[in-house]
Amino acid sequence: MKSSSLLTWPVALGLCLTVMQTGSADAATETTVSSIASRSYSPREAGRIVGRSALKSRRPARAPIAPAPVDQVSIERTERYDDLVDHHAHQLGLDGDLVRAMIYAESGGDRKAISQSGAIGLMQLMPETAGELGIADPFDADASIGGGTRYLRGLLDRYGSTEVALWAYNAGPGAVARGHLPDETVKYVPRVLSLRKIFHDRREPALASQ
């Protein structure tokens, strides 16, 4: 019995250290996500965002960022893909208007868009992310929307908060964990949520008549 106990003690110690490290990582994530939320939202909104993702905000929040003007051409380009968006969003239990808002914010509805960082297509997937999602042609509208919605679904399941999932989508989960997001990403979430309402309001008369 003593021999068996001695053999299992290092394993038990390793498990204990792993739990401690995991707890430290969770605490660090709480702090960084709270900090990010405070840069875009009022105290009440920041608390709601962080609380919904099982993270507790204790930092003071700053004033919300004013939304940017809307480009009608990008709106109409994005709406060309309504059928594809609704198909993939329905399959994954996502809000189609949220996906439309992301397409607008990411690429302006241009399926051939390439960002300075190398992100490609309607939903601006990085080549490595597209590869992990099994996408052969990121410029293909169906493939881009299908891959982007699957990626978003995974982030929503991981974080439990739409806002945090959008930060991770735009800047990467690593950037969210570090809490060092570019200003573009901090503005991205309020922008997308504002656009979601715009797309919803544009579609509401047609939906009401069905």
Share of the chain above pLDDT 70, in %: 65
Q: Which of 49-53, 88-92, 104-108, 196-200 has the least mean pLDDT?
A: 49-53
CATH class of the domain defined by 72-208: mainly alpha
Verdict on whether the full-model pTM lies above 0.85: no
Structure tokens at 72: 């009608």
Continuous segment of H or E residues that includes residue 88:
helix 82-92
Task: Give the pLDDT band (50/70/90) at residue 184.
Answer: confident
Structure tokens at 207: 């939906």
Has residue 192 got a pLDDT over 90? yes
Count of C-beta atoms within a 10 Å radius of residue 15: 10
Contact 104, 196 (CB under 8 A): no
Q: What angle do CA 187, 163, 23 make, to 5 degrees?
A: 115
Task: Give the pLDDT band (50/70/90) at residue 84.
Answer: very high
What pLDDT, on a 0 to 100 scale, did the predictor assign at position 20?
38
Using CA atoms, how far residue 196 sits from 3, 75, 100, 140, 142, in Å, is 63, 11, 7, 23, 20
What pLDDT, on a 0 to 100 scale, did the predictor assign at position 210?
62
Has residue 9 got a pLDDT over 60? no
Among 79, 106, 132, 163, which one carries the catalytic annotation? Answer: 106
Contact 4, 149 (CB under 8 A): no
45 is catalytic: no
